[in-house]
Structure 1
Amino acid sequence: AAITAIVAQGDKENIIVAFYDLHIGRRKRLFEIRNSITSIVSIAFSHDAKYFATLECLNREYTLSLWLWQKSKLIASIKLGAAEGITLLAQILFHPSDNDVISIIGRKYCRLIRQIDGSLRIQPSSSKLENYDFICHAWYDSNRILAGTRNGHVCVLFNGDVQTDIDVVEGRERPVPTQRLSITTPSSLKSNRSQQQQEKIDIRTTFEEVTSLSIITKGFFCIVGGKRLYLYSKISDSWDFAKNREYCIHEEVAIKSTSSTLLSFTEKQHQPTIQKMKKIAISSNEEHILVVTDKQQLYAVTDILIDQIDSKEPTVLQLAFVSYHQSVIRGLDVAVQKPFLVSCGDDHSLRLWNYETNSIEQMRTYNEPIYSVALHPSGH
């Protein structure tokens, strides 16, 4: 089933979860999560899309909930906090074949939680993960998990223990230390703003965090620092991996056009702003691989089935479809006599679309956001 879930803040102190069927493009279910939940940290579907799990956070106390989403029924939930040695959690995932097992990772934390007789129970583990701050993970098979860290490592975990540690940051001779950063916050909204308190927070300053992991038959893809996409292949008869491909997104200096001439889409295929890769999506047959950026663009990995000679230069990813708006769309108008519509928005761009061919006819960028636009009925 092609089901996707969208989480949004409700009008009151609640969270709304909407489920959509991508085949028919319609909403199938909508339900609310109450009890003044501050935020949803992570969500996950079971492999058969029957169950749905949420990781909720309120004042650094977490709640893991298991739902039968088609009936809006809560099956079980469990509180997770300091008593369980938890400081910061990042992501949850279902086991690839067992709906009763959920993996959960975070700072110095990687555990399995099993649903037994209507309750969730943390599985015992003696693993020591004091040196790891996990922020994303993926099941490699039914027994092993790959987890990415904030300081640029991918770890192979077996029964909660680190079996292999891969440093994906090239040229690093020594571990990057943790820097203590002082963050100034107001002591009280009602008190004098000059009175402030210092809160010490440990953060990694490498900007080389592994933000996304996706598994393929012969290895895995990982996004590092938002700037690079790496492909690692498994070495035979071991749990070591070797990097054999690298990808990046074309970066250009921002262009501020004041010309009255509209530029064709082929002349401006690449967006004039620096983008960060966020997530990877891979089709079941591994023939189609897409990368989404923080500017709402989709790029495609097109050479996965082609044998390549090792190259020191990264491959530049190409747009998978047309170039979309990178921010909020503020204005929209439709022609009458031609299949055209025009859109504008906060990304400083004006775009003329052909809705019959699903393509951009022309595009122009400005020095400031565009809030309104009108198109002549003839399309000119």
Structure 2
Amino acid sequence: MKGDVKDNIAYADETTVIFPAGNNVVLHHLESKTQQFVPGTPGAKGVDAIAVSANKKWLAVAESAEKAQITIYDLHTLKRKKVLTTTEVGSERYASMSFSPDGKLLVALGGAPEWNVVLWQWEKSKASSVVPSRVANQAPGSAYQCEFSPFVNADGGYTATVCGQNLFRAFKINDGVMKPLASALGKREMGSTFTAHGWLPTDEPGRERCVVANEEGDVLVVENNEVVAAIPATEKYEGCAIHCIVPFGVKGFVAGGEDGALLVYEKQTDEREPFKLTKSFTIESDGKNASIRNLAIDANEENLIATMDDNQAWTLSLANIDVMKPEEMNFERMSAGFHSNGVTGVDLCVRKPLVVTCSTDKSVRVWNYVERTAELVKHFAEEAHSVAFHPSGLQILVGFSDKLQLMNLLMDDIRPYKEFSIKACPEVVFNNAGNCFAAVNGNVIQVYNMYTCENVGNLRGHSGKVRTVCWSPDDTKITTAGLDGAVYEWELKDFKRVHENVDKECSYSCLAPSPDGTFTYGVGSDRMLKEFDAAYALTQEFSCDAGALTQVAIPASGRSLFAATERGTVRAYKYPLDGEFQEYQCHAASITRMRLTFDDSLLFCVSEDACLYVFDVQTGEKEKAGKGAAKSKEALVTYAEEVLVTKMDINEKNGRMQELQMQVTELQLQSEYQLRMKDMNMNEKIKDLTDRFTLELEQAQTKFELLLQEKNEQEMEYEERLRQTDEKNAKETRQLENQFQEQILVEVERYQNLQRDKDLLNEQWDEQNSLLVESHERVIEELTAEFSEKLQDEQMHAERMRADRDLGAKESEETRKQLEEDADQEIDDLKNTFETKLKQEREVGLRLKGENGILKKKFTA
């Protein structure tokens, strides 16, 4: 797992999590422990950030390259949908990403030096808006995280936020345009580094809250782009930087920070303190308090996963978090655990499905690749540089910085057995039979007997440090190579060098013999894959344009050859070699070791990126046979189930078992005695209770009889009262009926009188209405006649006005024509006059020119 990637853990569904590892993104099934891979882009430098859409349909992967790129994948099919690139991001990488609530937009925070925020309409492969994360006059600094608000604004848009060094800024997004808002923190921004923030879902409409944490452990609550509350760090966690925040439903949020601190904040009713730290836990990762970098909670809010900066991942059940104490909450590893630094060695045994790895994180781990678990993990005081697994699966050799140790793999421990004074051993290898091993000590290869630990011989001749050692298939020869460019073959019966090939331009890193021993293949710093014949003459070589090759391995089937590169890829060459190969993306750094299982079914690679990759090796025959061939192969493999246990451990366990059996016997006797005593006490209590309840029952019976007699008397009394009440009510009813009958007769007579009055009024109204109608019609006729005469007069007046208008128009036209004729005549007269004057002036001018010429000649003479 890449612990330096922002938001490097996410749930794809209830049982599958997503995290980056090497140059891939891994979909890890928590129950079956199976994995699917989203491979990195060829040529990219590694994964920098990932994001999953709210509907769990889309996965965004940001990778470093000459032009930083984002790739969108369909999480259901794992097919690539879009590749997003733009030069406007101003960086070779993205630091953080987040999908909009509907999954149609993606906001991405670019890395150094510009730290721009890019809004992608990714379905159109369009960067619709690029905005600096800081205002123009703000001091430069790093930005850490961007996040979309889960809420839709009133205008149908969204809000995104960015936090970082002296920075917390919100952006309003509408129609593909992103506009920065004024800082919500104001002066609080200056001098503070805001390391994480998160938007919180709510069950209160209009309460859109975002919590922002700083490196001092304080939390600010922002609502509607204003700080509404500040939650200072408690005394225990003062100065503890918070690196990640995730919402815990509508109940609050969970924060992770330095020294493995996991903090649970719950919502309060007090507006001045809307959230309160109610629970806190500490994750002790591999015996040290590493920092929590990222958190993820599943959709049911039952499980939490925390990833650490040492590449470990821990799970915590949240089902009973409300009632359990912090010391009762158990953190479990999400998987078998991971190395936190580069892996320097890997090896396999034959008798068990085990692989061992060692790392500069000072740990040695033994993995079961069938069950996908870690069998043993042990941390040491020194870094491990190399490791070798005995074919039996019961011993390993580990080259530490100060010594080489032979260790026994016990049932629950890795226990040193023998030490050899070889410092920082870069390579140690068991022979195929397991009775000898060869260890590199500087430029000398020392061969030891496995069972007596006796140094049976030394191979001297290299002028530089030896990097690789390989045994021949029959264990009679050893081939070595190193930084001096020399490849030597040694005969073990007399420890003499029999063949050699020296190329001082190449520092070799790995050798591998062909299955029949006729060829040997080597790789090194010259970026060549070299083939040597039995006499170690160079027969052919193939160049590698992807950087230097670091490792090489050949299956016993002899159908292919595998080579690893310093860029983290694995190449599968056709064998015999013709230069053709297929390349597979896996690691994000140089591959340091590569091994095949004894049946050539699996290929194991380790790298400086702390990952162990396992490839399923498919030959042509297996591909044709399909599942049938795979089943037949499994049927041939019978792994040993024996474990190594020391006599001392057995004696200690037997002694412990006897002690426990004695304790059990004593506890049984004590329990039986206590049980008898409890029975006696209970019998006495039962007798006392029986006597007491019998007396109480008799008293209750007497009381019941008295109450029953009292009840009968009260029933007779109330029956008499009821009869009297009925008679009284009947009498009152008759009186009321007589009274209301008289009132009805009076009202009927009154109604008849009113009806007569109404008829009389109707007759009067009809008569008045007729008179009014006649008067109205007469007035209308008079007005109609009067206005008809007026209308006729107006029409005649209008005719006269039109006639006057036409006459005036004719007179105006005649006057205009006369004026035009007079003006034309006057113009012609003036024209003739001025033309005459102009002619006269011209004649005067000519005469004066002549006189002037005569005068010039006269003065000249």
Structure with the higher strand share, 1 or 2: 1
Instruction: Give 1 or 2 for the bigger CA radius of gyration.
Output: 2
Aligned pairs for 1:287-302 within 5 A: 287-302=302-317
Unaligned runs of 5+ in 2: 1-55, 202-206, 395-861
2:268 partner letter: I
**Change beyond 3 A, Cα 1:126–1:307:** closer
CA offset at residue 7 of structure 1? 3.3
Confirm whether residue 345 of structure 1 aligns to residue 378 of structure 2: no
Aligned pairs for 1:218-229 within 5 A: 218-229=251-262
Bigger CA drift: 112-121 or 293-302? 112-121
Match of 1:128 among 186, 209, 227: 186
Match of 2:266 among 211, 233, 257: 233
Bigger CA drift: 370-379 or 44-53? 370-379
Confirm whether residue 7 of structure 1 aligns to residue 62 of structure 2: yes
Between the two proteins, the alignment pairs up a number of residues equal to 324
Q: Distance in 1 between matches of 2:116 and 2:58?
A: 24
Q: Distance in 1 between matches of 2:199 and 2:93?
A: 25
Deviation by residue 1:250-308 (Cα, 9 ceiling, x = unmatched):
3xxxxxxxxxxxxxxxxxxx624442221111111111101111111111222443432
Match of 2:120 among 41, 57, 67: 67
CA offset at residue 84 of structure 1? 6.2
Q: Hey, what does 2:243 align to over in structure 1?
A: 211
**Change beyond 3 A, Cα 1:65–1:287:** same
CA offset at residue 331 of structure 1? 3.1
Q: Distance in 2 between matches of 1:361 and 1:107?
A: 43
SS at 2:376's partner residue?
Answer: strand
Deviation by residue 1:324-369 (Cα, 9 ceiling, x = unmatched):
2122223334556643333222222222211222211223444443
Q: Distance in 2 between matches of 1:367 and 1:377?
A: 27
CA offset at residue 321 of structure 1? 3.1
Q: Distance in 2 between matches of 1:126 and 1:377?
A: 64
CA offset at residue 160 of structure 1? 1.9
Aligned-residue sequence identity (percent) comes to 26
Bigger CA drift: 281-290 or 103-112? 103-112
CA offset at residue 41 of structure 1? 3.3
Deviation by residue 1:51-78 (Cα, 9 ceiling, x = unmatched):
322112444x431111234554322212
SS at 2:186's partner residue?
Answer: coil
2:144 partner letter: A
Q: Distance in 1 between matches of 2:368 and 2:183?
A: 57
2:255 partner letter: C
SS at 2:162's partner residue?
Answer: strand
Q: Hey, what does 2:368 align to over in structure 1?
A: 354
Match of 2:346 among 332, 340, 348: 332
Instruction: Judge conservation of contact 1:211–1:226 (CA < 8 Å) in 2.
Output: no
Q: Hey, what does 1:54 align to over in structure 2?
A: 108
Confirm whether residue 92 of structure 1 aligns to residue 106 of structure 2: no
Q: Hey, what does 1:119 align to over in structure 2?
A: 177
Unaligned runs of 5+ in 1: 173-205, 251-269
2:145 partner letter: Q
Structure number with higher relative contact order (C-alpha < 8 Å, ≥ 6 residues apart): 1
**Change beyond 3 A, Cα 1:346–1:49:** farther
For normalisation by structure 1, the TM-score amounts to 0.72
Instruction: Judge conservation of contact 1:337–1:379 (CA < 8 Å) in 2.
Output: yes
Aligned pairs for 1:169-208 within 5 A: 169-170=234-235, 207-208=239-240
Confirm whether residue 166 of structure 1 aligns to residue 231 of structure 2: yes
Instruction: Judge conservation of contact 2:121–2:176 (CA < 8 Å) in 1.
Output: no
Q: Distance in 2 between matches of 1:126 and 1:31?
A: 31
CA offset at residue 376 of structure 1? 5.3
1:233 partner letter: E
Instruction: Judge conservation of contact 1:338–1:378 (CA < 8 Å) in 2.
Output: yes
Q: Hey, what does 1:77 align to over in structure 2?
A: 130
Aligned pairs for 1:6-45 within 5 A: 6-10=61-65, 13-19=66-72, 29-34=82-87, 37=91, 39-45=93-99
Instruction: Judge conservation of contact 1:248–1:316 (CA < 8 Å) in 2.
Output: no
1:90 partner letter: Y
Instruction: Judge conservation of contact 1:344–1:350 (CA < 8 Å) in 2.
Output: yes
C-alpha RMSD over aligned residues: 3.3
Q: Distance in 2 between matches of 1:31 and 1:207?
A: 39
Instruction: Judge conservation of contact 1:80–1:86 (CA < 8 Å) in 2.
Output: no
SS at 2:136's partner residue?
Answer: helix
SS at 1:130's partner residue?
Answer: helix
For normalisation by structure 2, the TM-score amounts to 0.34
Q: Distance in 1 between matches of 2:64 and 2:181?
A: 32
SS at 2:331's partner residue?
Answer: strand
Q: Distance in 1 between matches of 2:246 and 2:359?
A: 33
Bigger CA drift: 81-90 or 150-159? 81-90
Q: Distance in 2 between matches of 1:344 and 1:49?
A: 42
Confirm whether residue 148 of structure 1 aligns to residue 213 of structure 2: yes
Match of 2:300 among 279, 282, 285: 285
**Change beyond 3 A, Cα 1:355–1:58:** closer
Structure with the higher helix share, 1 or 2: 2
CA offset at residue 148 of structure 1? 0.6
Bigger CA drift: 160-169 or 83-92? 83-92
Q: Distance in 2 between matches of 1:110 and 1:72?
A: 28
